[in-house]
Amino acid sequence: MKFNTKTIHGGQEHDKAYGAVMPPIYQTSTYAQSTPGEHKGYEYSRTHNPTRNALENSFASIENGNYGLAFGSGLAAIDAVIKLLKPGDEVISTNDLYGGSYRLFTKVFEGFGVKFHFIGMQNASNIEAYVNANTKLIWVETPTNPMMNIIDIKACATIAKKHNLLLAVDNTFATPYLQQPLDLGADIVMHSATKYLGGHSDVVMGALVVKDKELAERLYFIQNASGAICGPQDSFLVLRGIKTLHVRMQRHCENGKHIAEYLVNHPRIEKVYWPGFENHPNHEIAKSQMKDFGGMISFVTKGNSFEEAIKIVEKLKVFTLAESLGGVESLAGHPASMTHASIPKEEREKTGVVDSLIRLSVGIEDIDDLIADLKQAIG
């Protein structure tokens, strides 16, 4: 089954009771048992719920995995992965990643004795210098948030396997439509399903997908024991969103390309970060591991003025100034004061997240309206 068909049919079956084409919303916390311990596969909805299971099967299908897990948020999914570790274990992570991930790593798990190394991974060989007997996990984002850096997943997987480490890839920006990390050697794929998988800015959710049964069982145990699951209504919404993922991503990519080219030729723009440019660092790797280059773009204006960046995002009319990304509507954000405010200024600026940086999540509106909006806001 090819990807565009998987988004609609992958891991799904018609409702056994009445043949409903869409999985029903099982809005229940518990299930009747004929005698203690005998039931129809479901006993309590923290552990299993038919609507959530349908979604988890879809997650696994579109990422070419064997097991999918749905969580109450992307951070809850990341939390479950780090709970595989114990005090004294070490994680090697990219130094350009979502601020919420950085906050969870440094403000929560470092307090429990897990050590994190934040390094540049554009050259994957940099990783080996940080591997030691305590290293257990490599955490990768690609493209990264918000600098759109590209990390070679295959190269990271080679290093992970050489040292018997787990490799987890945050695939939120690319989505499985563009990139499938498990096929490139990753052990775990994570998504903030709030973003492109849901696609309509109406739900908060996280996802994990793995191939290995033993790893899946460990993660299912943590999911059930910690209880950070999503509800059936949210499961239904994200499952519905996945059914149009392929057609939405086509338009996100088309619009993203047009806007990146408009910005790079604008006389008031200093730098545009988008992996589709031939001069983008690791562009060739992006071409080899991604189907297209996505709808996420960051840029800075000439003069690198904080005040000018704020003025631009406030003047936008079709683009909405808001947190998040990946919805059908176009969004603009100021990472330094929004998504990455939890990262200290000195650390942010080392990776390029300067106060003048603007991040765009390009939606699926008419491209002429989007460019006209940028034109009036930038001048």
Question: Known catalytic residue: 268?
Answer: no
Alpha helices in the chain (DSSP H): 3-9, 50-62, 74-82, 99-103, 153-162, 175-178, 213-226, 232-242, 245-264, 283-289, 306-315, 345-350, 367-378
The reply to whether 3-242 and 245-378 are identical in fold is no
Nearest alpha carbon to residue 114 among 80, 82, 77, 141: 82
Domain ranges for the chain, please list them. Answer: 3-242, 245-378
pLDDT digits (tens, 9 = 90+) for 10-55: 999 998 889 999 999 999 999 999 999 899 899 999 999 999 999 9
**Which pTM does this prediction carry?**
0.96
**How much is the pLDDT for 251?**
98
Question: Known catalytic residue: 98?
Answer: yes
- Decide if pLDDT at 344 tops 90: no
Say what percent of the chain tops pLDDT 70. Answer: 100
In CATH terms, is domain 3-242 a member of 3.40.640.10? yes
Q: What is the mean pLDDT of the chain?
A: 96
**Mean pLDDT of the region 61-70:** 98
Q: Exactly one of 46, 154, 240, 350 is catalytic; name it.
A: 46
Q: Exactly one of 152, 170, 234, 373 is catalytic; name it.
A: 170
**Mean pLDDT of the region 291-304:** 94
- Decide if pLDDT at 290 tops 90: yes
Q: Name the one residue in this structure whose structure tokens are 């071409």.
A: 287
From CA 296, how far away is CA 314, in angstroms rounded? 19
Q: Name the one residue in this structure whose structure tokens are 């919303």.
A: 25
- Decide if pLDDT at 346 tops 90: no
165 — pLDDT class (breaks 50, 70, 90):
very high
- Decide if pLDDT at 61 tops 90: yes
Q: Exactly one of 52, 83, 136, 195 is catalytic; name it.
A: 195
- Decide if pLDDT at 315 tops 90: yes
Sorted by sequence, the CB contacts under 8 Å of residue 32 that are 6+ apart come out as 39
- Decide if pLDDT at 372 tops 90: yes
Say what percent of the chain tops pLDDT 90. Answer: 92
- Decide if pLDDT at 4 tops 90: yes
Token digits of residue 373: 């909006």
**Mean pLDDT of the region 74-91:** 98
Q: Exactly one of 26, 67, 98, 273 is catalytic; name it.
A: 98
**How much is the pLDDT for 350?**
83
- Decide if pLDDT at 345 tops 90: no
pLDDT digits (tens, 9 = 90+) for 217-239: 999 999 999 999 999 999 999 99
Domain 245-378: top CATH class: alpha beta
Question: Known catalytic residue: 195?
Answer: yes
pLDDT digits (tens, 9 = 90+) for 173-213: 999 999 999 999 999 999 999 999 999 999 999 999 999 99
From CA 122, how far away is CA 157, in angstroms rounded? 14
**How much is the pLDDT for 27?**
97
Question: Known catalytic residue: 345?
Answer: no
